[in-house]
Amino acid sequence: MKIAFFDTKPYDIASFDKIKDTANISIKYFETKLSLDTCALAKGAEAVCVFVNDTVNAAVIDKLSELDVKIIALRCAGFNNVDLDRARERQIAVLHVPAYSPYAVAEHAMALLLCSVRRIHKAYIRSKDFNFSLTGLAGFDLHGKTVGVIGTGRIGRAFIDLCRGFGMNILAYDKFPNKSLDVTYTDTDTIFQDSDIISLHCPLTEETYHIINEKTLDMMKKGVIIVNTSRGALIDTNALIESIKDRRVGAACLDVYEEESDVFFRDNSGHIMDDDTLARLISMPNVIVTSHQAFLTEEALNNIAETTVENIIEFSTKGSCKNNLA
């Protein structure tokens, strides 16, 4: 079994090389992302392995089909970058890793929230410069605050558990509420109106695209903190920036960004930032941006590698796989 591996990072090689020999697969690693221009690199491979910002649209799938690729193995949970209908038409399996560590993402969401609320990002820089002044660092207690959680799947539930530990009140919204979950479900309007903190844990779909927009931002409490570790396009970034400038949104903690695919996962430090929207966001003292790293723990990386390889082996030996989306 030959796999063409796109958008490779050193941590991918470390986790996949650990298991590839025992699984009897050969992996060719490419630094470049999968796109129409790079598809040809998959020649001779039965499977391509891709991540969140690879392009897997209809044109790319057609090309992969011409190359006789049978499997698109996502080494992530989200699949909004894949044209599943076209994959079905072309009879290419789309395998994903539904769960690898919800704790990794939930803990990162909480880390961003704590960092923002207690101004750790500011204090860290100050103390590096021996500036021990406390002016401007006043935060607030999370205890007793209301957090609105949108999406109560694996990650949302893990995040709710963490919030409970902090003594927060929880409001939840999910299109498909989980009846066994001990939480107060409500509608999105109530979440927007009553929450001190809103954390997004739903997938990106046509319905959830820009779920945070000018209208919904207007409904929110003054000073609300928005946490997004899910997908960038859940938020209309320009509307968010306007609300921060108007001092209505108190802070934003973002691990994802709607135009992230051109900038995240690489070192842009020696370049002029072309993306003015991202530059504006990053310039704001109450915005924390991390580069889609919520998943990045040792446990998650090992689980991702194991499940991705198991998926590929299961499909190639049985012709079906429980994690096939297509």
Euclidean distance between the first and final Cα of the chain, in Å? 20
Q: How far is the CB of 247 from ligand NAI (least distance, A)?
A: 28
Residue whose Cβ sits closest to ligand NAI: 153
Distances (CA, A) of 55 to 16, 296, 308: 22, 21, 18
Dihedral sign, Cα of residue 79, residue 82, residue 88, residue 90: negative
CB closer to ligand NAI out of 26 and 205 = 205
Q: Which of 21, 207, 267, 276 binds ligand NAI (CB under 6 A)?
A: 207
Nearest one of 288, 318, 291 to 113, comparing CA atoms: 288
Q: Which of 28, 59, 67, 78 binds ligand NAI (CB under 6 A)?
A: 78
Question: Between β-strands 93-95 and 71-74, what pairing exists: parallel, antiparallel or unpaired?
Answer: parallel
Q: Which of 70, 75, 96, 292 binds ligand NAI (CB under 6 A)?
A: 292
Q: Which of 1, 13, 203, 291 binds ligand NAI (CB under 6 A)?
A: 203
Stretch that binds ligand NAI, among 144-152, 218-226, 269-277, 313-321 (CB under 6 A): 144-152
Q: Interface with ligand NAI includes 39 (CB under 6 A)?
A: no
Angle at 13 between CA 7 and CA 14, to 5 degrees: 145
How far is residue 151's CA from residue 200's CA, in Å, rounded to a whole number?
7
Q: Which of 81, 152, 303, 307 binds ligand NAI (CB under 6 A)?
A: 152
Q: Interface with ligand NAI includes 55 (CB under 6 A)?
A: no
Q: How far is the CB of 100 from ligand NAI (least distance, A)?
A: 8
Nearest one of 88, 81, 93, 90 to 57, comparing CA atoms: 81
How far is residue 279's CA from residue 272's CA, in Å, rounded to a whole number?
10
Q: Interface with ligand NAI includes 105 (CB under 6 A)?
A: yes
Q: How far is the CB of 234 from ligand NAI (least distance, A)?
A: 8
Stretch that binds ligand NAI, among 112-120, 163-171, 200-208, 309-317 (CB under 6 A): 200-208
Q: Length of the chain in residues, anyone?
A: 326
- Spell out, one character per residue from 229 to 248, where the chain touches ligand NAI: x when CB under 6 A holds, - when not: xxx-----------------
Nearest one of 31, 59, 25 to 45, comparing CA atoms: 25
How far is residue 10's CA from residue 19's CA, in Å, rounded to a whole number?
15
How far is residue 159's CA from residue 142's CA, in Å, rounded to a whole number?
14
Q: Interface with ligand NAI includes 264 (CB under 6 A)?
A: no
Q: Which of 91, 176, 179, 319 binds ligand NAI (CB under 6 A)?
A: 176
Task: Return the active site residues.
Answer: 231, 260, 292
Q: Interface with ligand NAI includes 151 (CB under 6 A)?
A: yes
Q: Interface with ligand NAI includes 53 (CB under 6 A)?
A: no
Q: Interface with ligand NAI includes 156 (CB under 6 A)?
A: yes
Q: How far is the CB of 134 from ligand NAI (least distance, A)?
A: 32
Q: Interface with ligand NAI includes 255 (CB under 6 A)?
A: yes
Q: Interface with ligand NAI includes 305 (CB under 6 A)?
A: no
Stretch that binds ligand NAI, among 56-64, 97-105, 213-221, 276-284 (CB under 6 A): 97-105
Question: Which residues of this chain interact with ligand NAI, rule CB under 6 A?
Answer: 77-78, 99, 102, 105, 150-156, 173-176, 201-205, 207-208, 229-231, 255-256, 292, 294-295
